[in-house]
Structure 1
């Protein structure tokens, strides 16, 4: 930074130590221009709170807290809004926060994203101005809102599509490889991805949240017409339709 005549803003500088598996946490400190920067358990970067275990629990708590505050304020003016106006306002202020950088939560356990699901359900009830414990599945379906877990999968698969097409950043493209069968098969044209080999339960559990593992698994499970979409807008439309039918199946007649 000194070489390029840049000055580090020490008031906004944070340091997080990410220990390896089995490594104890260490209180590290570095000195820059006679100022000491100590390590912290969490740090905020581009609106995302990172923790030293990469569990994103602190980020989920922060998003949940800010969304609850917004819902509280919208609830105060809800009597003056139509259902459509309330939907637009909540989608712009609340749902957009749930979607921001949500691909970082890919592979997270259901218990971890549960607070975000509760926020989404509270938002759906507020759109229709319904009581606290009203059933929300039909509400989410009528609003065309995918569940939080599906929204995370949607964002991850969009990144996978861009990686397959070569429009994603190079580090993402390097994480996915096209599947090449050992002999000519009709499946060679289905645009499948090669799944990385995992061995041992320990390795499988530690790598299950990696993009290089989840993206091929989720990608190969898609219908062929979704994987072979000609453009990104078509892929997004077909993918949302697929996930919507998966999570909101038609009720039996």
Structure 2
């Protein structure tokens, strides 16, 4: 199959290719219609002051959302009955990594370079064999002791304009894109492999969560919901759909709650200590060209741009399914986007009451 530019690809067999090419075409169209605004803040003159402004804005947004969440629940009695189900098997220690496993992860890693990396990643990968033993020792030491290296906890954030036709002078039009040290991603990938083995073996994840999972995608989520709609249509019933989206979802994850969920699903010992170390004392700085902000601390959130972040977010959201099911409402999620839907008859108000109460509970 060919697109309008003559580029051939098979979207049925290569969905990433289809999505990537579609994004390129849409970006080209948007740029031609809106003018050459660009996707970053290139029309702003980089300076340390501008970096400080962005850093304060990004941190302030998260702090405001967190305060609003805490104030909204301060006068409510929280229902503690929705707990994450505990599997019979537990994971209290990591399996030490062998050289062959590390080599595979290293060779398959994208050669993205962070300004915090001591040498360019391409150079690093080219001469990896010269210091592979030292890297293997460092990775296994982290897994064995349950300590995530402090040098890996800093993120370099670059502001990215959400859409090319937005006002580049308005800070709310930017999203923070994090860049992490290359070796930190290697370590995260090694941990992710073992974490995925555990949660898949024990069926830990919510079955109606399609984000960041093998054999689950936006397509599977849409097919399930559309099939429900069509079934109701054939029965001459109406379908009510509510779309929920969390603001700054990854950035506002409560570490205490997440670590509690990890413990409830069976992570303990050195494994739980490792994730505690991974989440705590993280920092970030905003960088534009050669300019940068001061280093600021994180008190919540999972690192965007990280390898583990998406899976940790799915585990953080585990109790949501139980809350929704308690009201008899259908749902499907993709990362932080959740769809609630029910079938209703014109003379039936009970279904709408259940949906309304479900939203209040969430």
TM-score w.r.t. structure 2 length? 0.21
Structure richer in strand, relative to its length = 2
Bigger RCO (CA 8 Å, 6+ sep): 2
TM-score w.r.t. structure 1 length? 0.27
Structure richer in helix, relative to its length = 1
